[in-house]
Every structure is written in structure tokens, then in C-alpha cells.
Structure 1
Amino acid sequence: MMTNLFSIFDPSTNIFNLSLNWMSTLIGIMFIPMSFWLIPNRHMILWNTIINKLHNEFKILIGNNKTNGTTIVFISLFTLIIFNNFLGIFPYIFTSTSHLTMSLSISLPLWLTFMIYGWLNNNEHMFSHLIPQGTPKILMSFMVLIETISNIIRPGTLAVRLTANMIAGHLLLTLLSSTGINMPLIMVNFLIFIQILLLTLESAVAIIQSYVISVLSTLYSSEVN
């Protein structure tokens, strides 16, 4: 019996004090069919289509700059997050993206890289972002403080957004499934139907959240160019 509802997210499986649950970020490669790596097939065509769409969209968001191949970083970010989000939907597989350890490890280095690059190469451009155009002189110092705080909390908001959305869906599925023990058979059938709908919603959230994180990261990178 669970002593804490959030214990379903604890990485408790370990051997020699090594948290094996975090291996779920790597062992998911085994779920991909071998034919995906060897010959052109429907999986490969679908994934290449998604990558091309993302590349074109990220290229527009980043804008015309001298850095070629930047979209590969954000496409890889999208792939990593959506891969782990979908793995977490399967039973008995640890959802690594539901932990701030994973999400902060993704968002914080990206944000630090953007900030270091921007302040070293485009000082005036970075200072101009602290004061929005058309701000009255009396509010300039106040706007600098607000923009600085909003800039600092960006990696936290990216991480919390991903973590909270993944935790919310899993918690709701766990709460509803725990009530099915004392239900009559008719209500259990209705509960299974509701669980299927929630699972479909969770699949949509897994796609949307990975897309939102990658798009926001692309927008943040475009501000430092």
C-alpha cells in the first residue's frame, strides 16, 4: 500500500544503489523496430516528414543567421522529450520527464548557453531586450527589473511546465484506477472507458508538451541573435 500518492514517481528500483529506473531514457531504443534502422519503411517516412516539418518551422523562428544546422539541436530536443513522454505511458516504465532532475537538466544548460552566447557577442541587443519599445522613461528601471526576473525564471518555467503536465495525467490515471477495486462490474466497464479516454489525452499531452518545449527553446535562442 502506498504511503504517498507521489511515490509512484519515485525512482526506487536500484541495484548497488544505482537508480535503474533512469535507464528508461536509453532502453526505449529497444522498442523501435529493427527495420526502422535498416530499410525505408512507413515508420521512417513518417518520422522524416515530421523532422522536415519541424526543420522548416524552426528555421523560420530562428531567422536568417550565420549559424547553420541550429535546428538539429531543437529537433533532437523534441525527439528526446516525446520519446520519454510516450515511454512513460506504458505500464511499469519510469517516466523520466516527470522529474525536475530530467527537465531541468534539459532546460538549464540550453538557457545558460543562450545567455552566455548573447552577452558575449550581442551586448547591445541583449540590453535592448530589457526595455520594451515605447516604455515611458519613468517606468524604465521598473521594466528592467521585470524583464530580468522573467528572463531568469525561464529555465524553471520550461522544466515545471513539462514536469507538471506529465505528473498531472499520471496522477489522475492512478487515482481513478485505485477506486476500481470497490466498484460494481458495470461501473468498472465505465471506468475502463474513461481510462482509455484519459490515455488518449495523455498521448496528446506527450506530443504537445514536447512541441511546446522545443518551440519555446527556439524562440529563446532567436532573441540572442
Structure 2
Amino acid sequence: MDPNGIIWSAAVWLIPLVIAIVFHEVAHGLAARALGDPTAARLNRLSFNPLRHVDPIGTIVLPLMLAIAKAPVFGWAKPVPVDARNLPDPRRGMLLVALAGPGMNLTLALVGAVLLGLFAQTVDTAPAGSLGAFVASNLVNFLLINVFLAIFNLIPLPPFDGGHVVAGLLPEPLAQRWDRLARFGFLLLILLLFVIPALVPSANIVQRLVAPPAQALTQVYLSIATAIGG
């Protein structure tokens, strides 16, 4: 397989991305169930089958276009349904449910770092275009994507997980007003990620708010991989 071809580029980004976002969403559902809300389980959304979580735009089309354009790859899945009314303490419960997704991604990044360390010799010696090189690229991208998704989802605005964290920390009257922004979530997403950066490049939220901590955290994980690989 041509390591510079479109198929290679798409595969080594889409495979780890789909795994990362599916586990992210399932983590929300598992946290909700542990706290008393069976909604996701009842709707069979705790499955790790990607087909139950795929959003055609956020999981396939957008990441594929970004991978082909060699731009930072990110995406989203269909949100796992959570009914806060089933939680004993809805505000605290929703905060914990929100944190479960990024927490899962950070855990997966650690798994990726460990695997990179264990297979360091194979990664370093695999010929370009080989199966070994393909696996190595997936592992590296798996680590990068999970770190990026964890930080990305902690942006403190709806519809991101960070927006739910903010709602859980605000006094209840302010939290109720804050939650009203959720109805404009997709519009805010488009404005923040595409429209505003196109109009005002210096206001690129990914470059200014997400990239610095993601890069720093990635270096921590890579140092773990290096220590394991010896």
C-alpha cells in the first residue's frame, strides 16, 4: 500500500478516530448507568459496535476530508442519550458523565503509549508501506487523536463536554441559563471551528486553546512510550 496515498492516509486516521469516539460515547453511557440512568443501556447504546454510534458527517465525511487535506483530524459520534432526571444528584451526575468521555480518551492514549513502547523496535524498523508501518501509524495516530479529543471536548462551551462541566459548577440559576445555549450547539460548533477562524485567523480556537495543552500532554505520553521501549 502506498504510504503517501489517499487510502493509506484515510485508513490510518479513520480507524483510530472511530475507536476513540465510540469509546468516548460509550464511556458517557457507562457512567450514566453507574450513576442510576439506564437510558443508554435500554436503547442499546452501550455497544462498542461503531454502527450504533456513527454520525455520517462527524464520524466519516468530515474526518475523511481533513485526513485527505492533511489537516488536524477530529470528529464526533451520535451523542449517547442521558436522562438527568434518573440521576440522584442531576447536576453533579451530569458533570461526572461529561468527564467520563475525555477521561476514557486519556486512558486510551495511555494504552496507545504503552503499545508504542512495547512495539518500539517494530515501529522503528518497519518498511514504508508494510503492515508493520500501517500498525505503527495507527498507534501513533491513536495516541494523538485521543489526546486531542480529550482536550477538544473540554472546551468550556456547549455542545462540548466542558460545557456540561461548567453547568455543573455554576450556581443553579446561572446553570439553567447556560444550558439554554445547548440548543445552539451545532451552530456554535460551526462558528467556532470554521467561520470565525476563516474570518479572524488569530481567533482559531483549536490552535490557541486546544493545541498547546494537547501537544504538552502528547509529549508526556510519548515519554512514557520511550521509557517502556527502553
TM-score (norm 2): 0.31
Q: Which has the higher contact order (CA 8 A, sep 6+)?
A: 1
Q: Which has the larger radius of gyration?
A: 1
